[in-house]
């Protein structure tokens, strides 16, 4: 393939990954040279592969150098969170926070980065109150953005505060109605009801979401888990496979699918789902 198309990024990547098993230094050099000759989007997976190889070589300085280069060259790519995780893992918490805040400043509409900062403050800094306040500041700065209440609700769920999470999801749903964000919020409301023991209300919520968007992943995953809990294994499998068609690596759906197959006594299919989960 490379003989006909020497700039085929996918073929270059496959060759580099294969070569890295026997000659990682040469693989790094080849991937670097090839990336330099490609446009920025085509070069991105090759540069990511270099980070994976450097990580396997335990070359921390090389990993940091490549991550910082990605942050600089792809400010919209969310690599600030990857750099922050690396810096935390290497004991540089102050630098990690600075990297996250700078990444948000450069890409203020990246909601994953904003939630990463909240997680960082809560976990790495052990300052959950500051994490909550930071998310509320983001909401105050963009009061009409429905994604932000979902982030705060997610934070509340992770903190064991489902009632507070419900308020935020309801706020997001009221702002976004039938948009993808609103449908996600409504599916999350249904999940909170399911977890609170109200299966009837949860099913009604999931059904309403899926009536508007039959391929909605949170709705399919949630209803699949509800069907699993009620012993409706075939219905669960149908929903969960629908979710996985859109998100093949959805860990929640894969785990529930494995359990549904186990419930039907399909050990081989359950094993396949568990295997996919481990690879996700």
Q: Could you report the per-residue pLDDT of 110-134, keeping only the tens digit for each?
A: 999 999 999 999 999 999 999 999 9
Closest C-alpha among 43, 105, 30 to residue 70: 43
**Number of C-beta neighbours around residue 41 at 10 A:** 9
d(CA 50, CA 53): 5
d(CA 11, CA 42): 11
Q: Is 106 exposed, middle or buried (0-12, 13-18, 19+ CB in 10 A)?
A: middle
Measured CA to CA in angstroms, residue 52 lies from 49, 118, 205 at distances of 5, 26, 42
- Residue 3 in this model has a pLDDT that exceeds 80: no
Give residue 76's pLDDT.
Answer: 86
Compute CA 2 distance to the chain's CA centroid, rounded to the nearest angstrom: 33
Compute CA 212 distance to the chain's CA centroid, rounded to the nearest angstrom: 24
Assessment of whether the complete model's pTM goes beyond 0.95: no
d(CA 179, CA 45): 31
Closest C-alpha among 150, 155, 151, 146 to residue 123: 155
DSSP 179: S
Give residue 194's pLDDT.
Answer: 97
Give residue 32's pLDDT.
Answer: 94
Q: What percent of the chain has pLDDT over 70?
A: 98
**Number of C-beta neighbours around residue 219 at 10 A:** 29
Compute CA 159 distance to the chain's CA centroid, rounded to the nearest angstrom: 19
Phi and psi at 242, nearest 5°, equal: -60, -40
pLDDT in tens, 187-235: 999 999 999 999 999 999 999 999 999 999 999 999 999 999 999 999 9
- More confidently predicted of 185 and 5: 185
């Amino acid at each position: 393939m490379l003989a006909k198309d020497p700039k085929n990024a996918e073929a270059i990547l496959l060759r580099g990954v294969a070569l890295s098993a026997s000659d990682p230094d040469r693989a790094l050099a080849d991937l670097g040279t090839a990336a330099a000759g490609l446009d920025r989007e085509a070069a991105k997976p090759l540069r990511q592969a270099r980070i994976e190889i450097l990580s396997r070589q335990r070359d921390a300085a090389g990993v940091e150098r490549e991550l910082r280069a990605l942050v600089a060259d792809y400010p919209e790519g969310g690599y600030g969170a990857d750099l922050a995780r690396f810096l935390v893992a290497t004991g540089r918490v102050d630098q990690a926070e600075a990297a996250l805040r700078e990444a948000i400043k450069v890409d203020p509409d990246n909601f994953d980065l904003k939630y990463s900062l909240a997680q960082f403050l809560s976990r790495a800094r052990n300052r959950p109150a500051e994490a909550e306040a930071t998310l509320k500041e983001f909401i105050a700065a963009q009061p009409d953005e429905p994604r932000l209440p979902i982030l705060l609700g997610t934070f509340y769920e992770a903190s064991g505060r489902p009632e507070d999470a419900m308020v935020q999801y309801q706020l997001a749903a009221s702002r976004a109605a039938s948009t993808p964000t609103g449908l996600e919020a409504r599916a999350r409301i249904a999940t909170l009801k399911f977890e609170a023991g109200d299966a009837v209300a949860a099913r009604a919520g999931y059904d309403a979401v899926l009536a508007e968007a039959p391929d909605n992943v949170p709705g399919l995953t949630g209803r699949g888990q509800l069907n699993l809990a009620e012993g409706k294994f075939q219905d669960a499998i149908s929903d969960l496979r629908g979710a996985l068609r859109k998100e093949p690596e959805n860990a929640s759906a894969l785990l529930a699918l494995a359990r549904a197959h186990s419930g039907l006594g399909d050990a081989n299919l359950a094993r396949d789902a568990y295997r996919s989960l481990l690879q996700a």
